[in-house]
Structure 1
């Protein structure tokens, strides 16, 4: 076993200075881009794409098709997780992060220039699917590589706090995306927004890509990784993906189940948006009004994430993740009921509780927890495969929710909210069956 910087040990010279902060900033920027794209696509899939790329006579079919295209991007994520995870473990965290950011940003930008169904027919949704697949492939290596770099650079006893900034970036990305959409929907007519206004947020992704690329050029590889790489080369180890499933297959399975906690996000941001704004459901909240709901919830999340990250360093990761996943699922029925009743104030309050507070207990903590579950030599691969297989499953839930509770059906809040709670409970139970990692030695090569 190689000596490490444990949570209880002294801070080494290598972890002093600006490097941990620079690594955290790099992770923050990457997460901003990832979830800027995530929120743009989820909102556009609910508000715009059914009309622009999937025009049919049946609004339910158009909506399901649009949300399924959103989910298709997650099909590529397990492939990207294997390819980019292996790359990050064999060739460096910094290397894979630059590749992921460029692929992700350029494909997001291309969506903004894509012709509509009326202009090029069936090619429009086909190209949209192709671009979404590239996005999914690229995104798969982002958070795994970024959080590995942050955790491995972090000072002793502060891994949870520093890694939480990567997750704070996910909420900041959502805020920026929503903040761009709100004035467009408020200022432009519905016709102008559908015709060209929705493209502007996708085009602006180029700014984030450039900023992230410049920052990541100057981040050094973590010392823990460089030492691990030397051991791997000396021992001629197997490929990271082979070694991962050989030694940590059960851990991967549990981490996939834990990732299902993200059902809270798709219920709030994707299905909730469709339920509130699509006329077929009969609620018909104005899109410009409902966009404030995720924005306010994400502002609350940005505030509390570092607090929960710091708290996880003091009391451990598991408790926060269990309470966060189960609690957010529990609020889902009330949240959807508030939407159905048209009560905007109650909808905002429950969105803040569900997504802005309870889910963030899980979200602020899981990256550190997952990174600590895997050894250095398979850390990016283990994280990426676990997270992205779980997210692939979660991504199809909005379409499933729409199928089991289509427009015109009774008890939409009870059906979809009940499913959300059941899935969140699975996540909580998987966490309960996983040992606590706070204080764990993260630099082992056994």
Structure 2
């Protein structure tokens, strides 16, 4: 345990510094909200819409599996995006790269909203879906690392965990927006109209968020720590090569520290839609409402855990979240199976409270593993590579487990196993809450 950190952070606490910090936190949060909104509307559509419209020739179980595989594509391409944009972010600065990632992922999401279905163009429809999901993943891969480290490189007074958690709130806010839009559309139009055109509305609305995000990000200053590195001619010459040769252990720790929370998030917020509709026969509207309760729980809890990780450290908070989620994983499915609305709503709400403990500290914890000269590349690569082993494989593994065993128990065991990995990596990692970012790697 330790007191709130006292770090030699960039600003001196002047009004100008505080204004710049507010801008960078706001810009990072808005851009990352768009990232997660794009991600979650695709996840919802992959569970509820795409099997019928893009894979109609397959039986329902196979169609769902194929649809979820397209969902996994972005997870596989995210590390590539992290490597590409991390390279430019570490060599040429964070600000312009973050503007580019915002445009790329927003454009891809908007185009998904106008892709013709299988009934119109046949096999070309799912192929276009995969291509756009690929592009979306590239943009998403470069987004989080830059947004998270910008907040840390601007913040001071021992509040990196709290301020970083405000970026992490973008995840449940994006989930809230995504599911709220889907809920509104499903409420306002008939099921026939929803499958005909209503499902496209959430994707097309992404273009509005892009314009808002661009307006905000154009006003943000460059990272002061990057400017110090550039002025001293200490900018990384080959950031990716340096990361994989000199900091690969830190990348592995970042991957292991996140992969369990990634799978937990998928199970409690996306798989609930698949399992609830196909195995339990619960109404789609009930499940979407339950996910909204979960997102609200997470959004409220994240800053609490972010503040706490400044007080007691990143590692204890991450461990608390992992143990809690591991335990709740065995209560989650019985609550859904009860069919009682109140219990169905409680299941993701409590689950997301524990996810918040594993999620809130990550925007501070992962960038703090790497020195400034390669922080964009290292943080992005570690964070996004975890998605390959977590979010990308989770839809395939969970669907296969339920199909083979016809019970939820193997899913909870799978979840617990990955949370053990998280706990192990966090135990190995060095506590960084009280560390000056300038001193990391020196």
TM-score bracket relative to the smaller structure: over 0.9
Q: Structure 1 residues 252 and 312, CA, compared in 2 at 3 Å: closer, same or farther?
A: same
Aligned pairs for 1:39-438 within 5 A: 39-231=40-232, 233=233, 237-260=236-259, 261-278=261-278, 281=279, 283-355=280-352, 357-394=353-390, 395-406=392-403, 409-410=405-406, 412-438=407-433
TM-score normalised by the chain length of structure 2 = 0.95
Contact preservation (8 Å) 1:161, 1:306 = yes
Q: Separation in 2 of the partners of 1:73 and 1:158?
A: 32
User: What is the CA–CA distance in structure 1 between the aligned matches of 2:383 and 2:29, rounded to whole Å?
Assistant: 18
Q: Using the TM superposition, give the Cα deviation of residue 326 of structure 1 relative to its aligned residue in structure 2, in angstroms.
A: 2.9
Higher deviation after alignment, 111-120 or 345-354: 345-354
Q: Aligned-pair distance for 1:342?
A: 2.0
Deviates more, 1:24-33 or 1:330-339: 330-339
Shift in Å, 1:414: 0.7
Superposed CA offset, 1:262-292 (max 9, x none): 11111112222100012xx2x1111111101
Unpaired segments ≥5 residues, structure 1: 1-5
- Residues 338, 344 of structure 1: 8 Å contact kept: no
- Distance change in 2, residues 1:57/1:252 (3 Å): closer
* Residue of structure 2 in register with 1:3 after alignment: none
SS in structure 2 of the partner of residue 144 of structure 1: helix
Tell me the residue number matched to 2:21.
Answer: 20
**8 A contact 1:318–1:436 mirrored in 2:** yes
Q: How many residues align?
A: 433
Please say if residues 16 and 155 of structure 1, whose CA atoms lie closer than 8 Å, have aligned partners that are also in contact. Answer: no
Contact 1:185 1:287 in 2 (8 A): no
Shift of 1:13: 5.1
SS of 2:266's equivalent in the other structure is helix
| Deviation sequence 1:81-122 (CA, Å, 0-9, x none) | 110111111111111100100000000000110100000000
CA 1:193/1:12 → structure 2, altered by over 3 Å: closer, same or farther?
Answer: same
- 2:28–2:148 CA contact under 8 A, matched in 1: yes
Structure 2: stretches of 5+ with no match in the other structure: none
How far does residue 16 in structure 1 lie from its aligned partner after superposition? 2.6
Q: TM-score, normalised by structure 1?
A: 0.94
CA RMSD of superposed structures (Å): 1.6
Q: Decide whether the 8 Å contact of 1:259 with 1:387 is kept in 2.
A: yes
> SS at the partner of 2:178?
helix
Contact persistence 2:90–2:239 (CA under 8 A):
yes
Q: Which moved more, 1:235-244 or 1:254-263?
A: 235-244
